[in-house]
């Protein structure tokens, strides 16, 4: 079945997610009957208290996990049918709260490796990685240093550069400004807005920051596993 | 490809671990390659030994089997006798000797001859006045097809010191005398002598004329006490089978003279079944005339080196298995250490087989470097360890041989027959040479170990869920 260009770029349809507890007979429900459409060219902020299921929602949306019930669709197609690996490779990129960069690679190689995996064309990969790293404030001499040699803030920016470099349809970010100073955090929010508004991508940000939420086009509130609009 | 680049970056970034893994592979590959080198050196030595000594198959008459078969004729006081049609005669032995698996053969017609005026019996000790000399006062004549193939000449206890021996083309009118007998009769090579046939009925027998073709010495000393002439080694005379048959009480048939035993030197000890088939085709009952190979000499030659090779083979297997186990544990531990990296790559959409491929490339790269380093090291190791192991085995073999000789001496004192096979010195040198085949084998073994060590713990990679790794941390 081909993709439906008229369908939402991402769609949650009655999604439940639960995890087995220690004795496996009982399960803990994290998300309950979540239904939500996400459109391209918009930036969404998902807010909620700790333990409300924000990261779980992001995992399902980013194709890192599958729902216990209901479906998650990309342009009208179930992620199960697309294949979670394929979905992640072609359509979604995630900026993790803990950066999740490959320690033995340099900043630039973290970005170019992700571009290779997601199938960005070979020509111009290095230039694009340089451009994005520069845009995110990574100095030229730091781009060829290994990740362990960079500060937490620099690593966060490299993680964002990597996600942006993948040329995907949807960008997910889990607390992208959590480790950054205010000026850099503002820069990151600007970049994410541009990605949504100028590049026409769908950006979903999980945040505790009121400032990030305020900069978003739509704020979704997650409480006790239920998603609602504000 | 991305996975190759990542593998290279990983190997160079974690140089300590890379060196550790390469070192471990080097040890495994050096031991495995040494084992292969020792094994192939032993195989070469065994092949050379086969060519050198072959194996002697003996066709002999088994009277017990004849009795059990119920085909024995009643020989009266002399016991059972074999049916004339079933007898082993020189004609059948000649036919069997033409087999392509036989390199040389000989047989023996046992006979006797009586002394004449110009060929008197040798007596080391004169008979006591009251002794009955009638019953044993004759020459023991052995009619042989090939004197050099006789066990005592093969093992060096008898040596030709003058003239010629007896070969397949030697005429029937010649004798080869022991030196004591020749000296006692003042005979030299080329002298004419006469000998009477041995009818066995007390009569004198016919006089036959012979030429002394050769003189030999035997290491077997004459007894210091009186023995009948027949039992004195100086009175053992060799003749051609026909000549011996003519001297015998039994008249030769069209198939030649009766023979008790024939020996066939085979190209390869493994050719015995073929020879057995050919013997059966000639009508020789395999139960009554069993063919047994005596590969003792071959075993003496290659015994120690074969044991060394066996140990080397065992080492190859043990080291390979231990290598797979140790490397699997290391790779498994490395995969565990790298769970986060794998999770990140999976989250980016990397295919699981390619993750496994990256690991395989990393391990294989270490293996290839290790194999390269193992080549010179293993030659030195195989040379040193192989020689040392072989020296130990040779020493054990020599001790065993010395014990055997002691026992054999004790047996001979008790009247048992001595082993007539010539003793062979075991191979003491290991010719270690690296061939393309050895290198290919160790390359395959090294890369096989690398593949197993990666794939066995690799199933974990295929089951990884990125969310669990990335959200739960390490």
User: What is the Cβ-side half-sphere exposure of residue B392, based on CA atoms within 13 angstroms?
Assistant: 9
Residue A154 covered by a domain: yes
Per residue in B55-64, pLDDT (tens digit) is 778 888 777 7
Confirm whether A131 is domain-assigned.
yes
Q: What is the CA radius of gyration of chain B?
A: 35
Kindly determine whether residue A64 and residue B350, on different chains, have CB atoms separated by under 8 Å: no
Selecting from A55, A64, A104 the residue whose C-beta is nearest the C-beta of B347 gives A64
Record the pTM: 0.62
| Percent over 90 (pLDDT), chain B | 8
The answer, for A117 touching chain B at a CB cutoff of 8 Å, is yes
Residue B414 reports pLDDT greater than 50: no
* Per-residue pLDDT band at B51 (split at 50, 70, 90): low
Q: How confident is the model at residue B296 (pLDDT cuts 50, 70, 90)?
A: low
Which of A87, A96, A105 shows the shortest C-beta gap to B9?
A105
- B343/A contact by beta carbon, under 8 A: yes
> Mean pLDDT, chain A, as a whole number?
89
Kindly state whether B474 is in contact with chain A, defined as any CB-CB distance less than 8 angstroms. Answer: no
In total, the C-beta contacts within 8 angstroms joining chain A to chain B are: 64
Contact B349 A86 (CB under 8 A): yes
Chosen for mutation from B471, B472, B474 (greatest number of chain A CBs closer than 10 Å) is B471
Of B135, B121, B132, B112, which is closest to residue B234 (Cα–Cα)?
A: B121
What is the three-class DSSP state of A57? Answer: helix
Predicted confidence (pLDDT) at residue A187 exceeds the cutoff of 60: yes
Of B138-152, B300-314, B396-410, B425-439, which range is least confident? B396-410
The number of residues in chain A equals 230
* Contact status of A66 with chain B (Cβ, < 8 Å): no
Residue range A70-84, pLDDT digits in tens:
999 999 999 999 999
The domain that holds A138 is classified in CATH as: 3.40.50.300
- Per-residue pLDDT band for B69 (boundaries 50, 70, 90) equals low
Summary mean pLDDT of chain B: 78
Average pLDDT for B200-206: 74
Q: Mean pLDDT check: name the lowest of A177-181, B21-25, B115-119, B467-471.
A: B467-471
Higher pLDDT, B441 or B83: B441
Q: Does A114 map to a domain?
A: yes
**A160 in a domain, yes or no?**
yes
- Closest C-alpha among B260, B229, B227 to residue B142: B260
Nearest-CA distance from B368 to chain A in Å? 23
* B417 inside 8 A of chain A by CB: no
Buried b (16+ CB within 10 A) or exposed e, B429-462: ebebebeeebbebbbebbbebbbbbbebbbeebe
ipTM reported for the complex, 2 dp: 0.87
Please tell me the total count of domains within chain A: 1
Q: Which domain holds residue A144?
A: 40-64+82-229
Q: CB–CB of B473 and A105 under 8 A?
A: no
Closest-CA distance, B448 to chain A, in angstroms, reads 28
pLDDT single digits (tens) B350-394? 888 888 888 889 988 988 898 888 888 878 877 777 677 777 776
């Amino acid at each position: 079945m081909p993709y439906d260009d008229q369908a939402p770029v991402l769609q949650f349809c009655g999604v439940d997610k639960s995890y087995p507890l220690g004795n496996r007979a009982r399960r803990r429900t994290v998300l309950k009957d979540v239904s939500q459409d996400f459109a391209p060219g918009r930036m969404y902020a998902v807010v909620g208290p700790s333990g409300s299921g924000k990261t779980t929602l992001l995992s399902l949306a980013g194709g890192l996990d599958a729902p216990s019930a209901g479906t998650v669709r990309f342009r009208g197609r179930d992620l199960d049918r697309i294949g979670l690996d394929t979905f992640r490779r072609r359509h979604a990129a995630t900026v993790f709260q803990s950066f999740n960069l490959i320690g033995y690679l340099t900043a630039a190689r973290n970005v170019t490796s992700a571009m290779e995996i997601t199938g960005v064309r070979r020509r111009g990969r290095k230039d694009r990685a340089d451009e994005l790293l520069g845009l995110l404030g990574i100095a030229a001499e730091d781009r060829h240093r290994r990740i362990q040699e960079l500060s937490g803030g620099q690593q966060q920016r490299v993680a964002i550069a990597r996600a942006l470099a993948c040329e995907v349809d949807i960008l997910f970010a889990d607390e992208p400004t959590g480790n950054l100073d205010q000026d850099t955090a503002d820069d990151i929010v600007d970049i994410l807005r541009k990605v949504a508004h100028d590049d026409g991508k769908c950006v979903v940000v999980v945040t505790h920051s009121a400032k990030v939420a305020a900069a978003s086009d739509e704020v979704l509130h997650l409480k006790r596993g239920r998603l609602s609009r504000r | 490809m991305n996975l190759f680049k990542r593998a290279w970056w990983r190997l160079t970034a974690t140089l300590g671990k890379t060196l550790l893994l390469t070192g471990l592979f080097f040890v495994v590959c050096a031991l495995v390659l040494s084992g292969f080198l020792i094994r192939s050196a032993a195989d070469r030595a065994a092949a050379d030994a086969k060519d050198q000594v072959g194996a002697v198959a003996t066709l002999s008459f088994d009277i017990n089997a004849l009795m059990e078969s119920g085909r024995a004729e009643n020989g009266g006081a002399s016991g059972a006798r074999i049916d004339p049609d079933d007898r082993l005669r020189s004609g059948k032995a000649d036919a069997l000797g033409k087999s392509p698996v036989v390199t040389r053969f000989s047989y023996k017609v046992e006979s006797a001859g009586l002394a004449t005026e110009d060929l008197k019996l040798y007596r080391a000790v004169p008979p006591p006045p009251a002794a009955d000399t009638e019953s044993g006062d004759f020459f023991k004549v052995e009619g042989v097809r090939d004197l050099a193939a006789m066990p005592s000449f093969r093992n060096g206890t008898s040596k030709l010191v003058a003239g010629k021996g007896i070969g397949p083309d030697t005429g029937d009118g010649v004798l080869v005398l022991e030196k004591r007998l020749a000296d006692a009769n003042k005979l030299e090579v080329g002298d004419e002598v006469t000998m009477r046939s041995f009818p066995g009925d007390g009569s004198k027998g016919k006089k036959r004329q012979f030429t002394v073709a050769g003189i030999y010495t035997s290491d077997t000393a004459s007894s210091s006490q009186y023995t009948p002439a027949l039992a004195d080694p100086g009175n053992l005379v060799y003749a051609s089978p026909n000549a011996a048959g003519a001297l015998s009480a039994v008249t030769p048939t069209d198939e030649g003279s009766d023979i008790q035993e024939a020996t066939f030197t085979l190209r390869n000890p493994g050719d015995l079944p073929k020879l057995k088939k050919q013997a059966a085709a000639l009508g020789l009952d395999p139960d009554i005339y069993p063919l047994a190979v005596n590969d003792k000499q071959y075993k003496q030659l290659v015994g120690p080196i074969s044991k060394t090779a066996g140990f080397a083979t065992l080492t190859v297997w043990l080291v390979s298995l231990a290598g797979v186990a140790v490397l699997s544990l290391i790779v498994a531990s490395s995969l565990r250490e790298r769970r986060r990296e794998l999770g990140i790559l999976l989250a980016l959409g990397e295919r699981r087989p390619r993750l496994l491929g990256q690991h395989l490339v990393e391990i294989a790269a270490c293996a290839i470097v290790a194999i390269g380093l193992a080549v010179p090291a293993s030659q030195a190791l195989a040379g040193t360890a192989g020689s040392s192991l072989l020296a130990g085995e040779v020493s054990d073999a020599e001790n065993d041989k010395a014990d055997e000789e002691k026992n054999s001496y004790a047996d001979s004192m008790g009247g048992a027959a001595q082993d007539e096979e010539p003793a062979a010195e075991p191979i003491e040198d290991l010719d270690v040479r690296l061939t393309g085949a050895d290198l290919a084998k160790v390359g395959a073994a090294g890369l096989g170990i690398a593949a197993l060590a990666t794939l066995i713990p690799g199933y974990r990679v295929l089951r990884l869920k990125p969310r669990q790794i990335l959200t739960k941390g390490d």
